[in-house]
């Protein structure tokens, strides 16, 4: 088996043999899903020896390890990525060809893993790739969601959510490990008792027990023999602690919904409590597993903070803090001070938002009922924090600002910042706002904890694998060193005046646009002009990301061309892709509006020659890998000061798209790197928006009454232009006009339209456009997650590399 990928002949023998042993028939009689399964298990088995050696190295050398807790890991498909990282893709492709099998057909059998939704999960997936590729011991922990977030269907222009049955044909990459299961306790009550040493201790009794079973997925580094683990936790009934006060069927239902799907509907109390249960299930299972393994290796937990670091990705895993305190004290005999030392030296927190309403808070009643002992610990952390601050002379107002428990709510971010040794933002602007505004009192208390780690993407997946023609061009000019060291991409700048290179960039973009146009024809039945500007906004739908401003711009251009025969725009294909949270009414209305505008525009014989509007259904990683390499314009138009970082901006950048955006999130750093001549920045700056909010001088009605074009756009929402029912889009009108245009959509709209037209003029000079594309590609090395991870390692995690000899 170790030589099955040595050459195509060995591959063929092994493939034929496995088809027979697994399915009992010759490979020629296997269904295509079975052929995919055979290939996938071969690839997984090909990394098994390295997986073992990586674990052995960490154990033998007593290395410190990272555990990355995240509710999402948007890993997409793994087949191509894993084969490329193992260096076996070409052998498999040639071997399959000898059997008359097209490898691309097998690739398309793989489902996107239903383990995430947006940028948070994709970032976590990129991080795992970079951690392994840089050779560091770091592992992910997540829930094995049976039905993912949801599968989006567009029916009559509206989003409809159906279950994402991604596990229907099993997950070829996972290995179930029932012997590594742990038990997670919910409800019950905390009681005190005297241990054998005479110490008074606490324990949880009368709890509902749930067995957490791990499924391990290999995370394969790029051609370095390092394999880490993404551990997915699944809930099953306890074997020894079945509930006495609940029927087994009700118990099963409660267990099944734990791993049913990502982000249960939080518009109901049941959904909110289910979210809390999920968060605790994840961190308790992961921490129990780590503690058990550490005790087995070292025989003590006194050095745990020297051998583990836990990164909490956003607020969802913050319950890890009181839970590890509980595990150390209640189950391992630690005193408070000893446990607190360990916890405060091995927990780190990444903040992903500066919007106060998005900072997670839980009602005391939820936590105290669901997790009584955990609540007692949170209460004690809060009590000790208040006493400490009073002893340091802080007044009651300051203490109230930073308290963990107030007004009947537990403020999870406050709990994290008081406890962890590191708090990082994810872009320079974001971190600056955190320090001076969102967490200014905490920054005053703990300035040494705060640091910035600008996000990144794995360039191997999003450039090397997703855009092979362009990657080959870069390699042909500067060598392949950039694959391991993305900083070397800057060498490509030497060719910015090379006409042959610039022409080739344009040719590759044209090829990629043909592929996307084919995809759109198949999935949307829309014919798009491949010579038009592909103007793309693909990301989670939220008001602050301003997909609404984008469609307002399109509505303006449509109306302008209908009313003025002398006005015509450069032909555009406007491409959207976004999921709205099931209970987010406004976001779902915006999707409906986009599709209503698309229907009218695309069926207008006069205007459709100049614009088409396309909404990509069920946008995800696999569709992104087709869309992003084909984009000419990258829409990054969030309200300044609202986007923590963004990562789609980086994916578009490395694939040679030009950023049309505000100075928000990582756009600020993109603009600094490429220069204003190689992007198009518009709109209010963060400080200008802050000033408008402070003085209350902005009113959308002022804009409406003084700008006829904007009045025309807004009125079209309620005059029957886009729907026979004039009230269909009134909620959008009311959101902007009667809720004071919270995200300054109308205020920035004219600047946005002007910037769009300016970019059209740039596009007219194809050579100059290609030069800007090249500059973006060459400068994108900074935004590799390899750089981000190395900064985490140097400043926070303090890991050493795994070295496995050939």
Catalytic residues: 352, 539-540, 545, 647, 651
How many Cβ atoms from other residues are within 10 Å of residue 746's Cβ? 23
Q: How far is CA 214 from the centre of its chain?
A: 22
3-state secondary structure of 714: helix
Pairing of strands 200-205, 189-194: antiparallel
Please report, for residues 113, 299, 552, 735, the alpha-carbon distance to residue 264 in angstroms, rounded to integers and kept in the order given: 18, 40, 31, 25
3-state secondary structure of 488: helix
CA atoms within 13 A on the CB side of 312: 31
The encoded tokens of residue 733 equal 């009108």
Q: Print the SS3 string covering 21-67.
A: HHHCCCHHHCCHHHHHHHHHHHHHHHCHHHHHHHHHHHHHCCCCEEE
Residues 6+ apart with CB under 8 A from 137: 54, 58, 63, 64, 65, 66, 228, 799, 802
Distance (Å, whole) CA 561 – CA 563: 5
Distance (Å, whole) CA 67 – CA 347: 10
The answer to whether 653 touches 634, Cβ cutoff 8 Å, is yes
Number of H helices, E strands in the chain: 34, 23
Distance (Å, whole) CA 649 – CA 670: 9
Tell me how long the chain is: 806
Distance (Å, whole) CA 436 – CA 418: 17
Distance (Å, whole) CA 474 – CA 654: 11
Q: How far is CA 205 from the centre of its chain?
A: 37
In 3D, which of 55, 54, 75 has the Cα closest to residue 122? 75
């Amino acid at each position: 088996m170790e030589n099955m990928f040595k050459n195509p002949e060995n591959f063929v023998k092994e493939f034929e043999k496995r088809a027979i042993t697994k399915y009992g028939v010759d490979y020629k009689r296997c269904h295509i899903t079975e052929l995919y399964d055979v290939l996938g298990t071969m690839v997984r088995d090909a990394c098994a020896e390295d997986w073992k050696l990586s674990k052995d190295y960490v154990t033998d050398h007593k290395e410190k390890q990272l555990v990355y807790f995240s509710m999402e890991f948007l890993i997409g498909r793994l087949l191509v990525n894993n084969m490329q990282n193992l260096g076996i893709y070409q052998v498999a492709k040639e071997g399959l060809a000898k059997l008359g099998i097209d490898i691309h057909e097998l690739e398309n059998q793989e489902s996107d893993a239903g383990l995430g939704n947006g940028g948070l999960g994709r970032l976590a997936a990129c991080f795992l790739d970079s951690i392994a590729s840089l050779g560091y011991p770091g592992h992910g922990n997540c829930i094995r969601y049976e039905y993912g977030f949801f599968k989006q269907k567009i029916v009559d222009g509206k989003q409809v959510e159906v279950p994402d049955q991604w596990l229907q044909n099993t997950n070829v990459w996972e290995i179930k490990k029932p012997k590594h299961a742990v038990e997670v306790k919910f409800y019950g009550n905390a009681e005190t008792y005297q241990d054998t040493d005479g110490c008074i201790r606490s324990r949880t009794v009368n709890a509902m027990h749930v067995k957490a079973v791990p499924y391990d997925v290999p995370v394969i580094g790029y051609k370095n023999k390092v394999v880490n683990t993404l551990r997915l936790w699944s809930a099953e009934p306890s074997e020894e602690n079945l509930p006495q006060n609940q029927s087994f069927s009700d118990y099963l239902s409660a267990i099944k919904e734990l791993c049913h799907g990502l982000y249960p509907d939080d518009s109901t109390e049941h959904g909110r409590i289910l979210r809390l249960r999920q968060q605790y299930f994840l961190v308790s299972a992961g921490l129990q597993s780590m503690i058990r393994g550490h005790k087995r290796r070292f025989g003590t937990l006194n050095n745990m903070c020297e051998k583990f670091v836990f990164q909490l990705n956003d607020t969802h895993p913050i319950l890890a803090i009181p839970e590890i305190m509980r595990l150390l004290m209640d189950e391992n005999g630690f005193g408070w001070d000893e446990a607190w030392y360990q916890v405060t030296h091995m927990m780190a927190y990444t903040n992903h938002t500066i919007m106060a309403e998005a900072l997670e808070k839980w009602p005391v009643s939820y936590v105290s009922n669901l997790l009584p002992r955990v609540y007692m610990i949170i209460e004690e952390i809060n009590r000790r924090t208040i006493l400490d601050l009073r002893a340091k002379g802080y007044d009651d107002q300051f203490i109230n600002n930073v308290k963990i428990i107030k007004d009947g709510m537990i403020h999870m971010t406050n709990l994290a910042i008081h406890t962890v040794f590191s708090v990082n933002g994810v872009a320079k602007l974001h971190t600056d706002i955190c320090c001076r505004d969102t967490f200014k009192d905490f920054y005053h208390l703990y300035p040494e904890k705060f640091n910035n780690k600008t996000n990144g993407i794995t360039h191997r997946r999003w450039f090397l694998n997703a855009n092979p023609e362009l990657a080959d061009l870069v390699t042909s000019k500067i060598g392949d060193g950039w694959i391991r060291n993305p900083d070397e991409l800057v060498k490509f700048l030497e060719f910015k005046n090379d006409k042959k290179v610039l022409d080739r960039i344009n040719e590759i973009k044209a090829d990629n646009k043909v592929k996307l146009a084919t995809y759109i024809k198949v999935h949307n039945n829309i014919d798009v002009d491949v010579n038009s500007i592909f103007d793309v906004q693909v990301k989670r739908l939220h008001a602050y990301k301003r997909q609404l401003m984008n469609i307002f711009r399109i509505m303006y251009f449509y109306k302008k061309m209908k009313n003025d025969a002398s006005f015509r725009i450069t032909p555009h294909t406007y491409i959207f892709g976004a999921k709205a949270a099931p209970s987010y009414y406004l976001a779902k209305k915006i999707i409906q509006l986009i599709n209503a505008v698309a229907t009218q525009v695309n069926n207008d014989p006069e205007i459709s020659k100049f614009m088409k509007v396309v909404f990509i259904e069920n946008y995800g990683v696999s569709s992104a890998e087709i869309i992003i390499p084909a984009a000419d314009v990258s829409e990054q138009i969030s309200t300044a000061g609202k986007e923590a970082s963004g990562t789609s901006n980086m994916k578009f950048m490395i694939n040679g798209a030009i950023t049309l955006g505000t100075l928000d999130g990582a756009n600020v750093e993109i603009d600094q790197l490429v220069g204003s001549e190689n992007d198009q920045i518009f709109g209010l700056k963060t400080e200008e928006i802050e000033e408008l909010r402070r003085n209350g001088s902005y009113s959308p009605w002022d804009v409406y009454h003084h700008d006829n074009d904007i009045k025309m756009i807004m009125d079209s929402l309620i005059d029957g232009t886009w729907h026979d029912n004039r009230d269909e889009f009134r909620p959008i009108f009311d959101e902007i006009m009667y809720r004071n245009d919270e995200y300054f959509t109308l205020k920035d709209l004219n600047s946005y339209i002007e910037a769009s037209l300016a970019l059209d003029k740039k596009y007219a000079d194809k050579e100059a456009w290609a030069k800007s594309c090249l500059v973006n590609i060459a400068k994108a090395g900074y935004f590799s997650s390899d750089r981000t991870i190395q900064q985490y390692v140097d400043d926070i995690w303090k890991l050493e590399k795994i070295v496995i000899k050939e």
